[in-house]
Every structure is written in structure tokens, then in C-alpha cells.
């Protein structure tokens, strides 16, 4: 479409989660509690890992100075960033009469969300590779997963996340919106934006599908191959205690992978004929708020090292 025929749209209006006034108080209380847990749990995890690293530099006894916790701190950072891009605005809009967002604010919200959601998706594959190296070759683990290697892996994760987000954001906000500016959602996501565009969105849909399939296949393949090697390595361990310890190291990560990837696949691989906006909003709530809350809880509640490091820091400061 000739962009000269596009309207000079300056803002979008969110229709939000619900119009039911009675439910708004309950939803606000629940989502506020969830968001506070996200802030506290992820910040605590990041600070705990950082302070434990400082203990290592002072030659004390660190618990979390390993590549796994380096990646875990970045996982918490990603959770914190993309939930913060959406959570506060959603909470305000529950009671706001005017649920508007500027077109630039919408683009920024989606850009931040897309960057860190993509990074988290790729990061779980990197963490699976780290677990494979730790279990299959423990004596060479410090060499194969050196600080330089870990930094390069994270740089690659962020580079892919930023590139993907810029592609989607640029394509989405070059579309024409010459009709309604009401988005039937609670944040700026591409599928609801495509529904209100009066441009041809086939290119956008093709790019979304292609990149999403590439990232998902890369992630799932990486996790699957890593855990195949992990299982083979564990089977070579003769003692039952050793096998149990090796598998217990991976349970938290597998739980996070199953929850996050299962939700993303359900969200974006649902056939268009069965695409329901209300169902889409409920699924979006799960991966934008619930998963960032669950991740640090899963790792802290099921991880002995995290508990011991937390206890040491409490004893040091109290």
C-alpha cells in the first residue's frame, strides 16, 4: 500500500484483559503480587550470584561461581526485563479509562519484550549445553566452559535476540493502520497488530513463522541433543548415588525448558483457524508474568547450592 494513503496514527488503545469491574480488583491484586515476586526473586537471584562471585575474588568459599550460575543470572535478567516491559503498564491499564500507548511507546515495548524473550529461548539451549559439558567431561569442564567461552555464548544469544527483535519491529511498524487503532490485547504484540493493519501482512507472517521456527528448532534441537549425550554419560556412571546426583542437577533446567517451550509452541503454532484472542491473552499472561516468577523459584527451591549461598550471605550480613 502507498504510505501516502496511511492515516497519521499516533497512538493505540488497548482493550485490556477484561471489562468486568468486579474481576479487575482481583486481577490487579493477583498480578501485582506476581510482579512483586518477579522483581524480588529475580533481583535476589542476580544479587546473590554477583555477591557470591565477589566472595570468589576474595578467596572465600563460593557456592555459585560456575558457568551454570553465570547463565542463570542472565536468565533472571531476561525474565526481569521482558516482564517489566509489560507488567507495570498492564497493571495501570486495569483501572485506567484511557488505555492508550503512543506508537513509539508500542514499538519500544515490543522491541524490549522480543529481545529478552528470544534471549531466554536461546539461553535454555546454552544452559543445556553447559549441563552436558559438566556431566560428560567434568575434568575438562573448567577449560571447555571458560569465562571467555561463556561470554561469547551470551554475546551470541543477545546478538540474535536484538537482530530478531529489530527485524520484527521494523516490519510491524512500517505497516499502515488506517482503520481502528484498538488492539485487542494488553500489550504490543505482533499478531494483534497485524489484525488491525490495512496493509498486506503476508511478508510479516512469513518472517514471523520462519524466524520463530528457526529459533525454536535451534533451541529444541540443542536441548534434545545435549540431553541425549547427558543420558548416555549418566548411564556410564556405576554408582546409583552418582546417577541420581547427575540427574538431579538437570531437573530444574528441564522443568524451565518444558514450561517455557511448551507455552511458546502452544502460543505461536496454534493454527490460524483456531486463533482466539481471549485464549491468546491468557497464554500471553502465562509467559509474560507466570514464567518469570516461576524460573527463580524453581532454581532456588530445588538447588542446594543456592540455599547454602543464601544462608552464608545471611550469616555474613546479620
Is 172 among the domain residues?
Answer: yes
Query: The pTM is what?
Result: 0.86
- Does residue 157 carry a pLDDT above 70? yes
Is 5 among the domain residues?
Answer: no
Task: Give pLDDT, residue 150.
Answer: 92
- Does residue 252 carry a pLDDT above 60? yes
Is 6 among the domain residues?
Answer: no
Average pLDDT over residues 137-164: 91
Confidence of residue 278 (pLDDT cuts 50, 70, 90): low
Q: For residue 215, give Cα distances in angstroms to 118, 170, 209, 270, 313.
A: 8, 19, 10, 17, 38
Overall domain count for the chain = 1
- Does residue 2 carry a pLDDT above 50? no
DSSP summary character for residue 59: T
Confidence of residue 166 (pLDDT cuts 50, 70, 90): very high
Is 1 among the domain residues?
Answer: no
Is 208 among the domain residues?
Answer: yes
Is 4 among the domain residues?
Answer: no
Q: What is the CATH number of the domain that holds 90?
A: 1.20.1070.10
Average pLDDT over residues 66-71: 86
Is 56 among the domain residues?
Answer: yes
Task: Give pLDDT, residue 107.
Answer: 94
Task: Give pLDDT, residue 262.
Answer: 76
Task: Give pLDDT, residue 22.
Answer: 76
Residue 309's domain comprises 11-317
| Structural contact between residues 191 and 21, judged by C-beta atoms closer than 8 angstroms | no
**Paired sense of beta strands 100-102 and 11-14, if any:** antiparallel
Is 60 among the domain residues?
Answer: yes
Average pLDDT over residues 33-53: 86
CA-based nearest residue to 186, from 306, 72, 316, 83: 83
Amino acid at each position: 500500500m502507498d504510505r501516502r494513503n496511511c492515516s497519521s496514527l499516533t497512538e493505540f488503545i488497548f482493550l485490556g484483559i477484561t471489562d468486568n469491574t468486579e474481576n479487575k480488583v482481583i486481577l490487579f491484586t493477583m498480578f501485582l503480587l506476581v510482579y512483586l515476586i518477579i522483581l524480588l526473586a529475580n533481583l535476589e537471584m542476580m544479587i546473590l550470584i554477583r555477591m557470591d562471585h565477589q566472595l570468589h575474588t576474595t578467596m572465600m568459599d563460593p557456592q555459585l561461581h560456575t558457568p551454570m550460575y553465570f547463565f542463570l543470572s542472565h536468565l533472571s535478567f531476561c525474565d526481569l526485563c521482558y516482564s517489566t516491559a509489560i507488567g507495570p503498564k498492564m497493571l495501570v491499564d486495569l483501572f485506567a479509562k484511557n488505555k492508550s500507548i503512543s506508537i513509539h511507546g508500542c514499538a519500544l515495548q515490543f522491541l524490549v519484550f522480543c529481545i529478552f524473550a528470544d534471549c531466554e529461548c536461546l539461553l535454555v539451549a546454552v544452559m543445556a549445553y553447559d549441563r552436558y559439558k559438566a556431566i560428560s567431561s567434568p575434568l575438562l569442564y573448567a577449560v571447555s566452559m571458560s569465562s571467555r567461552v561463556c561470554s561469547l555464548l551470551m554475546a551470541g544469544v543477545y546478538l540474535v535476540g536484538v537482530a530478531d527483535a529489530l527485524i520484527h519491529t521494523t516490519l510491524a511498524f512500517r505497516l499502515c493502520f488506517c482503520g481502528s487503532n484498538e488492539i485487542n490485547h494488553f500489550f504490543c504484540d505482533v499478531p494483534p497488530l497485524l489484525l488491525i493493519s490495512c496493509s498486506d501482512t503476508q511478508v510479516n507472517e512469513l518472517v514471523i513463522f520462519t524466524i520463530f521456527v528457526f529459533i525454536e528448532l535451534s533451541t529444541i534441537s540443542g536441548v534434545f541433543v545435549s540431553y541425549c549425550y547427558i543420558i548416555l554419560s549418566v548411564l556410564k556412571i556405576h554408582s546409583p548415588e552418582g546417577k541420581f546426583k547427575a540427574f538431579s542437577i538437570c531437573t530444574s533446567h528441564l522443568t524451565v525448558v518444558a514450561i517455557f517451550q511448551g507455552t511458546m509452541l502452544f502460543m505461536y503454532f496454534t493454527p490460524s483457524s483456531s486463533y482466539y484472542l481471549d485464549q491468546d491473552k491468557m497464554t500471553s499472561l502465562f509467559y509474560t508474568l507466570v514464567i518469570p516468577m516461576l524460573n527463580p523459584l524453581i532454581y532456588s527451591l530445588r538447588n542446594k547450592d543456592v540455599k547454602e549461598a543464601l544462608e552464608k550471605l545471611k550469616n555474613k550480613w546479620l
